[in-house]
């Protein structure tokens, strides 16, 4: 399940994924994708869980068709 934030609210936020297949995300207790406010928060989480090989992705732009 995806988070309840609007796409425009995700710009500048970070998510943790296992690979670009998007098969595995860091999720919260409700099963929603965990959104991080900073790279540092996401990076600390990766260290806490001792992930071996993971991607931290930043949402840079919310494209909207006019």
Strand spans (E) along 1-66: 14-17, 55-58
Beta bridge partners of 58: 14
Q: Give this prediction's pTM.
A: 0.83
Question: How far, in Å, CA of 18 to CA of 38, rounded?
Answer: 18
Q: What is the pLDDT of residues 3-57, one digit of tens each?
A: 778 899 999 999 999 888 777 888 888 888 899 999 999 999 999 999 999 999 9
């Amino acid at each position: 399940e995806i988070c309840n934030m609007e796409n425009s609210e995700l710009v500048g936020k970070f998510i943790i994924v296992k690979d670009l297949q998007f098969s595995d995300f860091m999720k919260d207790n409700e099963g929603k994708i965990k959104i991080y406010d900073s790279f540092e928060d996401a990076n600390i989480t990766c260290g806490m869980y001792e992930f071996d090989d993971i991607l931290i992705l930043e949402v840079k732009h919310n494209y909207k068709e006019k």
